[in-house]
Amino acid sequence: MSETTNTPPAQDPVFQIQRIYMKEASLEQPNSPAILIEQQQPSVDIQLGVEATPVADGVFEVCVTATVHTKIADKTVFLAECKQGGIFEIRNVPEDQMGAIMGIACPQIVYPYLRGNVADLITRAGFPPVHLAEINFQAMYEQQQAQSASTQQ
């Protein structure tokens, strides 16, 4: 009689969205109302950031933050910041793929909600909406990986 070893079946990968939510939103108009009667076209600076944090075993929070700063000359018209979060269950995924999932796949899911909330926040403040451009999170992730690799060398 030959002996057989019982190896447990490989676990299937799990990727589920638990929740998408607005984590934080702020809007400041420090130079209102005087700046509102200016006729010049303001300059717009948009910064984006992505962060991922473990919440529990196999559960992660991924947040995408947009900061929109508009100025006329050196005076702020408005400064809006919005952070959109998502909670994701991610299990049985090879460790070498986790960075890409949290840096590309999750932000791509969260970002459309962020875009809508930023446009809504700015419109509710009395300004024309700022529509954030589509983002290639894969290119952004690869650029960050290349930067961190060159920093480590």
Q: Residue 80 maps to which CATH number?
A: 3.10.420.10
How many domains are contained in the chain? 1
Question: How far is 138 from 49, CA to CA, in rounded Å?
Answer: 14
Backbone angles phi, psi at 151, to 5 degrees: -70, -35
Structure tokens at 85: 């979060």
Give the residue numbers spanning the domain of 81.
Answer: 14-125
Q: What pTM was computed for the model?
A: 0.85
Over the stretch 94-151, which tens digit does the pLDDT of each residue have?
999 999 999 999 999 999 999 999 999 999 999 988 899 999 999 999 988 888 888 8
- Note whether residue 136 is domain-resident: no
Share of the chain above pLDDT 70, in %: 93
- Note whether residue 151 is domain-resident: no
Interior/surface letters 117-139, b for 16+ CB within 10 angstroms, e for the rest: bbbebbeeeebeebebeebebee
pLDDT band at residue 3 using 50, 70 and 90 as cut-offs? low
- Note whether residue 23 is domain-resident: yes
Q: Once rounded to an integer, what is the mean pLDDT over residues 5-17?
A: 76
pLDDT band at residue 38 using 50, 70 and 90 as cut-offs? confident
